[in-house]
Amino acid sequence: MTQPHQHDSPGDPLGVRLSGALGEAYQLERELGGGGMSRVFLATERALQRRVVVKVLNPDLVSRATEARFRQEAEVTARLQHPHILPVLATGGHDDLLYYVMPYVEGESLRQRLSREGRIPVHEATRLLYEISDALAYAHARGVVHRDIKPDNVLLVEGHATVADFGIARVLAVSTTAGGGRSEPLTEAGTSLGTIGYMAPEQLAGDPDVDGRADQYALGVVGYEMLSGARPFSGGSQSELLRTQLTAIPQRLDELDPTLPAPLALCVARALEHDPERRFASCGDFRDALGLGFTTGPRTVARRPRRLAVFAVMGIAALALAASLAWFARGPSVKHAADRDLLVVAPFDVLGRDLDMWREGMVDLLSSALDGAGSLRTVSPTVAVRRWSGRADAASGSALARATEASMTVVGRVVRSGVDSVRVQASLMDAGSARALREFDFRVAESAMDRAADSIAVGVLSALRGTRGVSASPRGSIGSSTLSAVRAYLIGEQFYRRGAWDSAATAFQAAIQADSQFGPAMRRLSNALEWRRVAGFDSTLRITYAMRAGAMNRGLAPRESLLVAADSQWSAMATIAQPSARRGMAMRLLATLRAASVQFPRDPEVQFRFGDAQFHFWPFDSAASPGAAGRSMRTAIDLDSAFAPSYLHLIDIAVYEQEFDSAMAYGRRYLGLQPGETDAAAVSALVALLDRAQTLHLDLDSLVTALRGEPIRQLHDKLYNAADPDTALVRLLRVFARDSVTAQANVEAVRRARHRIYGQALADRGRFAEAREASADRPLGYAGPMAWLGAASPDVVRAELDARLASGLPVDALEGIQWRTREGDTSGVKRAVQVTRAFEVRYGALGASYRQVAEAYDALVHGDTAGAIVRLDSVRSAACEWPECDAALLTLAQLHVARGNQDAAARLLSRPVRMRGPVRVVWMLEAARLAERRGDREAALRGYTYVREAWAGADAPVRAMMDEAAAGLARLRR
């Protein structure tokens, strides 16, 4: 436990008396703080040489009644063993001194965090609310009410909540008056009886029998403060605050901040009801409501009218997010040999090929049934299958548990016991002792295998009920009770784990045909269609299945619920045009998967999905980036090196970061899995092109033949950001552009498309003259940068830009606007503004970012630098997702540099760049210049190296940039 104030020594009379009362057991060191009802001292427990905190009650408030209550409450509180409750190690008393001893925890209080940061990110605040409410529910079930929940009494230990001072308030609540009667409750801030602003109305009224709903109310205040940065009630004095708290209804959180999930706002609003009967019945219900995502009773969504269908989809996704957050467990803050609450189900031994599907099928069924029951979690079935070897015996089960850091294993076998019946035997093993905790033996009809799995799950939960607070019924299900659907789903899962996407899709379709409400089968079908990557495949079908699964996200195991929620949110984004709504959905998606990654740190699919979302949507979240995406995907590979999709974006990220050796290594590992996707040809060519020892001797004609069709586009997309001085990609695309296309149906269209790809690769590398010559038409998107960089005749560029301006599309209108601004072309800039405004009127908020950019350059061309910065900064704040925003943000960074605001420029230029080719090169050069001025040698080296290598063969007009980069490298290396 930590406190914000520290004093030098316990040399005052109370400290001396306390030191004597503690005797030889503890060495008192110094006072940490306190006041009012108690004082806090730091001490060392001599026997174990560990630091502890000793909290002593104010002797002036101690009476015989208080002492009796203290000892009674101390016995109860000391038995509270919960991961989010600061335990009481010991209690004691001497004369009128009553004290208790707690661990000393390195960290800070929630109050300190709020004072520093103002508010807590929604995903983290929701997790903290869940952890605190879980702790309160645990304590209330054992008869202990806290009575003083506030940020000061919540410690943050490695990012997780720990509630301190449990049960102490109730000790002092029965302090007697001189006449022996009960005193009026003390309500001043800082006392142990409660704090105005956090105390429930019934507690303020002096009700001596307040129950756990008072703690729920206080937690609602804490939640409101975390999510909004302000308390729900305010007042200039204690009496004014008290009056406001008893009469006012705080504004709902999602009305203060529309980006907050409405279900979460409803949960907090209900906890803050004045009447205890209108709150949740218990803190356990509050915790579960965070999971269920909706509440019944007063103040429901009737206050906010329903929106259009797309926002209904967003609502479904928000509910699913809340459902996922309810299952937060303690994250992987400490690496340990065995997780007490982690169970792994081993693949069953199966005798008889006709029963083979149950080998892995029992892993899926039992893992789904047991995951999330109380504190129990199960290892991902994929990991269990990958790590398993041996037979259904104690030794093999213990080995699997060690490999997955589980403390318990279920091993079993399925054997034929008649024409249409089977015998199912299973054991719940303690991994440490290899001792069977419970054994099961069933004879059932083969058609009742799902019921056998349910019976085993119930038996496991019954065996663990006394140690892990689980109920005797399974918490989650696989999603269907139709056996034919379950069988098809389990077969699909086995194909899916092996990357056989077509076979998996066929099986999942059969499962859906047997049960049209089978949500997990719909999610998996969506996944299989996504990874199959058939050229020309209509993605609408994949999106439809994912969203239908999201609408049926009920009663599932926690892991499956999280993944269903994430996939439905991801798919819903394809239906949203409004930027603010897309951003809100992207934030929800990232929050869902961040929750999943903490809840299931050892699940490869969860870690992959989180990395995949960060890779695609990092502009929406400051915590996400290509680098963060790479870390999540590497974790996924460490857990399951055989899941092929994990490697594909790792290759992209390595190329983006110019780590070509890593890209080749990931490519070779991917190809070693013998994947069947169309990506395989592209990755094979990528490895060949990046291997500089071999690239000069490549048979490019044969390579082009192997890459005809979709793979050549994929190869180009993976390598366009590569600063490759050997220009292997350019040489390949030159052959590709000249390759015979006589067999194609539309010869001329194919030829133009090939020349355009070749021209883009040249322009990406600053070879604009060759790009114009090579392309069948203009290299789309580079007329502006060519003018801006002086790489083309102004008259030619102006004619081309004017023609594009006439298209009426904002992307075309903004092409070359930097050059128009520099040239003082006020009429051209004004026309660009008109195009973007017309687009916004026609398509709504979709065009807002385009308009802001155009108006910023209009301000610049008229000399209004401050106005331009304001408008461009609004584009930055909106996390504009179209890559062309990077050019505008580059201008913003240059304006900050010109005005001497290097910190603001550095924050902009340190972010990853989505824009390709010339804009990225100029961006990296600007970042290197600034980094050198600021003394950041590594960043400057990185930027100058990229510019030099990317434009090693650039045209003369832009070669000066490459020369500047080479000179910068020379300076830094000296």
- Whether this prediction's pTM lies above 0.75 is answered by no
Distance (Å, whole) CA 715 – CA 709: 11
- The 3-state DSSP class for residue 921 equals helix
DSSP 896-942: HHHTT-HHHHHHHHTS-----HHHHHHHHHHHHHHHHHTT-HHHHHH
Largest CA distance in the chain: 107
Q: How confident is the model at residue 883 (pLDDT cuts 50, 70, 90)?
A: low
Query: What is the pLDDT confidence band of residue 167, given thresholds at 50, 70 and 90?
Result: low
Going from the C-alpha of 105 to that of each of 132, 156, 226, 484, 822, the distances in angstroms are 17, 9, 22, 53, 59
Task: Name residue 808's amino acid.
Answer: G
DSSP letter string, 596-642: HHHH-TT-HHHHHHHHHHHHHHGGG-TT--HHHHHHHHHHHHHH-TT
561: nearest Cα among 823, 266, 324, 289: 324
* Residue 567 confidence (pLDDT): 92
Q: Cα–Cα distance between 765 and 467 in angstroms, integer?
A: 64
3 state SS of 824: coil
The yes-or-no verdict on residue 512 having pLDDT over 90 is yes
Q: Are strands 50-57 and 97-103 parallel, antiparallel or unpaired?
A: antiparallel
Q: How confident is the model at residue 102 (pLDDT cuts 50, 70, 90)?
A: confident
Q: What residue ranges in 355-473 does DSSP mark as E strands?
A: 377-378, 406-416, 421-430, 435-445
**Residue from 60, 134, 148, 567 carrying the catalytic annotation:** 148
Average pLDDT over residues 206-220: 87
Instruction: Supply the pLDDT for residue 846.
Output: 59
Would you say residue 177 has pLDDT above 70?
no
Retrieve residue 556's tokens.
């599932």
pLDDT tens readout for residues 728-748: 778 788 877 776 554 455 567
Give the pLDDT confidence score for residue 174 in this predicted structure.
42
Q: What are the tens digits of pLDDT across the range 913-960?
A: 777 778 888 899 999 999 999 999 999 999 999 898 888 888 888 888
Average pLDDT over residues 310-329: 37
Q: What is the DSSP letter of 49?
A: T
Query: What is the model's pLDDT at position 6?
Result: 43
Query: Which one has a higher pLDDT value, 57 or 939?
Result: 939
Reported confidence tier of residue 180, pLDDT bands at 50, 70, 90 = very low
Rounded Cα–Cα distance for residues 188 and 753 (Å): 76
How far is residue 201's CA from residue 241's CA, in Å, rounded to a whole number? 12
The yes-or-no verdict on residue 183 having pLDDT over 60 is: no
Tokens of 456: 């085993």
Q: Catalytic: 886?
A: no
How would residue 810 be classed by pLDDT, with cut points 50, 70 and 90?
confident
